[in-house]
């Protein structure tokens, strides 16, 4: 799908939306749809929608104490594409929260540990940072964290994560634009490391806090 706007035009519209908004913190979402067509399926003339919403916040304890994830067997279709197909996330997140978890961790049919509902997933083992290389969304925040890790001298390993890798992890955390970094202290019934935010995770959180303006 192709839209008719230049980057400069989109930038101006985003700036105008910010100026008109009354919210001190904004969540800005750009959605490109297939538009309208006679059969209701085949893309026609694309429609571009910009949403300007009040940015929500997560409990402070998610950052200070960490979160718990419930694993679910699921692989997003065309995982590298950021789509509006959130049906599994909507259903499984409700189930997870009802069971006392804060989010969901997707595991592929082959046992590969992938990502969360709207987050990327990382583990730390013997001082090295690990995250899935394939079958996940390549989020902007994920990219920034990998860059920060290298600047801090933390070795980054991109590859296939297994349940065994996760079970042996010293630390774990999730990341996204809205969450930034949330330490993970429990996955299903297994405690991650000491059950508290780890040293590498805290270093990355501090570096992230000081470098928000550099995220692209």
Is the per-residue pLDDT at 54 higher than 60? yes
User: Mean pLDDT of all residues in the chain?
Assistant: 94
Check: CB of residue 24 under 8 Å from CB of residue 45.
Answer: no
- What's the longest Cα–Cα distance across the chain? 58
Q: Could you name the CATH architecture of 61-214? A: Alpha-Beta Barrel (3.20)
Is the per-residue pLDDT at 216 higher than 80? no
Q: SS3 for 151?
A: helix
Which whole number is the average pLDDT over 7-18?
Answer: 95
Q: Any idea where the domains of the chain sit in the sequence? A: 7-54, 61-214
Please identify which of the residues 7, 29, 82, 163 carries the catalytic annotation. 82
**For the whole model, what pTM was predicted?**
0.92
Buried-state track 149-170, b at ≥16 Cβ within 10 A, e below 16? beeeebeeeeebbeeebbeebb
Q: How confident is the model at residue 160 (pLDDT cuts 50, 70, 90)?
A: very high
Catalytic annotation present for 82: yes
CA 150, distance to chain mean position in Å, is 20
114-138 residue pLDDT tens? 999 999 999 999 999 999 999 999 9
């Amino acid at each position: 799908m192709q839209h008719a706007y230049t980057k400069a035009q989109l930038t101006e519209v985003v700036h105008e939306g910010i100026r008109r908004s009354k919210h001190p913190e904004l969540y800005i979402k750009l959605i490109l749809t297939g538009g309208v067509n006679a059969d209701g399926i085949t893309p026609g003339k694309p429609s571009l929608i910009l949403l300007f919403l009040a940015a929500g916040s997560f409990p402070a304890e998610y950052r200070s104490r960490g979160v718990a994830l419930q694993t679910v067997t699921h692989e997003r279709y065309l995982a590298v594409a950021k789509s509006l197909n959130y049906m599994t996330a909507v259903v499984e997140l409700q189930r997870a929260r009802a069971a006392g978890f804060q989010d969901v961790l997707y595991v592929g049919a082959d046992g590969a540990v992938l990502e969360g509902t709207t987050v990327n997933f990382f583990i730390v083992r013997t001082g090295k940072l690990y995250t899935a290389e394939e079958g996940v969304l390549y989020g902007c925040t994920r990219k920034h964290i990998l860059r920060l890790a290298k600047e801090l001298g933390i070795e980054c390993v991109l590859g296939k994560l297994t349940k065994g890798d996760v079970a042996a992890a010293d630390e774990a955390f999730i990341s996204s634009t809205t969450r930034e970094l949330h330490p993970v202290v429990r996955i299903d019934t297994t405690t991650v490391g000491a059950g508290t935010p780890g040293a590498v995770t805290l270093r990355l959180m501090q570096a992230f806090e000081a470098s928000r303006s550099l995220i692209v």
